[in-house]
């Protein structure tokens, strides 16, 4: 699976909370009534315990989908260290770039309805985005082939990476960060991963649907999938179950993460959700509740850049082949979060791993857990 975690440069030590002892990382599970086999659950909990001991991540939430249904979800560790609040399957974490897969699914609903043409100039739906040296389409933007830049640097001091301003008009304000910048390459020629580009996808969704992006996503993705608590990460709202956000110093001390207001990049990295909600999203995808199988196949097929380099990134989803099995999903990373979710559509299975610390290799844990789900045993009829 393509790794989508963004590496950030070290920052000076801020207010230190305390160094986590391994004993505080014992799983604090609030599991749903589950049908996951005891053997698989035991293996997963052992993998989580080992992972937390190795990384000292304060809190994790895990959900697994098997046989097309959520079979188990649980929290481990702490959502809030200062108040000793345990993490659960209901805890809301920043999704980071997992937001792109949600946005892409919303866009593909419009494609399926004939309201959004993937190969039409993106300005047809987003006229506020200037014409460039060559035509740019929504398909190219979704596949990171439009030549649109990512962040200018990885530094917290970069006003994009460490944005502190809140925007009430997230799409237009997000476009203003990059819309007049030159393209990195001719559209269609090279892969350039771009969170900024997904703001343009959000603008295309607004133009095609004639609704605000966040309203469209709420009605046409989250409500339909039963994702009752997935919302933009608005720092001003009182949001029950939202975790605190953490980072780790070079010496290994856990501290509060650097500040971020992600209101300028909601389509590409601005949602918060729970493992429970993200499992609902996986179930909805497996049962074709949001888009049909043909549209999903289109979304999960990587376009080919003309430079001929291998590209496993499809339209808002990464793809990989693990032991002959197709995995689709995404990773995410930003201030105070590392996240990963995978689906194995042919096996009717999936996994969600959400954490409240940045720069943690949660995709490794997600891969291990999905491997446990798929190893041995036939699917129940």
Note whether residue 8 is domain-resident: no
pLDDT in tens, 154-206: 888 888 888 999 999 999 999 999 999 999 999 999 999 999 999 999 999 99
Note whether residue 4 is domain-resident: no
As beta bridge partners, residue 248 has 254
As beta bridge partners, residue 247 has 255
As a whole number of angstroms, the distance between CA 147 and CA 64 comes to: 36
pLDDT in tens, 195-251: 999 999 999 999 999 999 999 999 999 999 999 999 999 999 999 999 999 999 999
Note whether residue 254 is domain-resident: yes
Percent of the chain with pLDDT over 90: 85
pLDDT in tens, 103-114: 999 999 999 999
By DSSP bridging, strand 271-273 and strand 318-322 are unpaired
Q: Lowest mean pLDDT of 16-25, 103-112, 147-156, name the range.
A: 16-25
Q: First-to-last CA distance in the chain?
A: 29
As beta bridge partners, residue 75 has 61
| 3-state DSSP assignment of residue 54 | helix
Note whether residue 380 is domain-resident: no
Distances (CA, A) of 91 to 32, 95, 268: 13, 12, 21
CATH code for the domain of 134: 3.40.710.10
Confidence band, pLDDT 50/70/90 cuts, at residue 96 = very high
Tokens 């099995």 locate to 325
Note whether residue 113 is domain-resident: yes
Domain enclosing residue 136, as ranges: 26-374
pLDDT of 35 strictly over 90: no
pLDDT of residue 154: 83
* C-beta of residue 237 within 8 angstroms of C-beta of residue 270: no
As a whole number of angstroms, the distance between CA 119 and CA 357 comes to: 38
The conformational region for residue 328 under phi > 0 = left, psi -120 to 50 = alpha, else beta, is beta
Tokens 């200037």 locate to 130
Note whether residue 381 is domain-resident: no
As beta bridge partners, residue 333 has 338
pLDDT of residue 377: 42
As a whole number of angstroms, the distance between CA 120 and CA 137 comes to: 6
Residue 358 token pair? 């940045």
**Number of structural domains, the chain?**
1
pLDDT of 336 strictly over 80: yes
As a whole number of angstroms, the distance between CA 198 and CA 111 comes to: 16
Note whether residue 19 is domain-resident: no
pTM of structure: 0.91
Residue 252 token pair? 């290994």
Please give the DSSP secondary-structure letter assigned to residue 220: I
pLDDT of residue 266: 98
Confidence band, pLDDT 50/70/90 cuts, at residue 7 = very low
pLDDT of residue 376: 55
> Average pLDDT over the chain, rounded to whole?
91
Range 46-61 average pLDDT: 97
pLDDT of 4 strictly over 90: no
Note whether residue 146 is domain-resident: yes
Residue 298 token pair? 């289109």
pLDDT of 49 strictly over 50: yes
Confidence band, pLDDT 50/70/90 cuts, at residue 24 = very low
As a whole number of angstroms, the distance between CA 196 and CA 141 comes to: 10
């Amino acid at each position: 699976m393509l790794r989508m975690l963004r590496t950030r440069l070290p920052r000076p030590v801020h207010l230190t909370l305390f160094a986590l002892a391994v004993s505080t990382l014992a799983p604090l599970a609030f599991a749903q009534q589950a049908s996951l086999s005891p053997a698989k659950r035991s293996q997963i909990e052992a993998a989580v315990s080992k992972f937390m001991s190795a990384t000292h991540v304060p809190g994790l939430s895990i959900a697994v989908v098997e046989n097309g249904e959520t079979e188990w979800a649980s929290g481990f560790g702490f959502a809030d260290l200062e108040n000793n609040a345990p993490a659960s399957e209901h805890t809301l974490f920043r999704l980071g770039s997992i937001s792109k897969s949600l946005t892409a699914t919303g866009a593909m609903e419009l494609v399926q309805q004939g309201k959004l043409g993937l190969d039409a100039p993106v300005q047809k739906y987003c006229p506020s985005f200037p014409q460039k040296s060559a035509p740019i389409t929504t398909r190219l933007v979704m596949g990171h082939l439009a030549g649109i830049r990512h962040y200018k640097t990885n530094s917290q001091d970069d006003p994009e990476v460490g944005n502190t301003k809140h925007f009430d008009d997230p799409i237009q304000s997000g476009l203003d960060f990059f819309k007049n910048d030159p393209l990195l390459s001719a559209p269609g020629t090279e892969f350039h991963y771009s969170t900024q580009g997904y703001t343009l996808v959000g603008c295309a969704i607004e133009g095609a649907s004639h609704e605000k992006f966040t309203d469209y996503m709420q009605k046409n993705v989250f409500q339909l999938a039963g994702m009752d608590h997935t919302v933009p990460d608005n720092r001003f709202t009182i949001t029950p179950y939202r975790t605190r956000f953490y980072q780790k110093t070079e010496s290994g001390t856990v501290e509060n993460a650097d500040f971020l207001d992600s209101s300028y990049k909601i389509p590409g990295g601005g949602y918060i959700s729970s493992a429970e909600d993200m499992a609902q999203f996986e179930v909805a995808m497996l049962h074709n509740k949001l888009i049909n199988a043909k549209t999903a196949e289109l979304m999960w097929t990587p376009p080919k850049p003309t430079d001929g380099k291998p590209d496993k990134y499809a339209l808002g989803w990464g793809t990989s082949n693990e032991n002959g099995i197709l995995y689709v999903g995404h990773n995410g990373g930003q201030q105070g979060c590392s996240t990963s979710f995978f689906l194995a559509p042919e096996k009717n299975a999936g996994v969600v791993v959400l954490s409240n610390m940045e720069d943690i290799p949660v995709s490794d844990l997600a891969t291990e857990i999905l491997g446990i789900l798929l190893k041995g045993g036939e699917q129940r009829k």
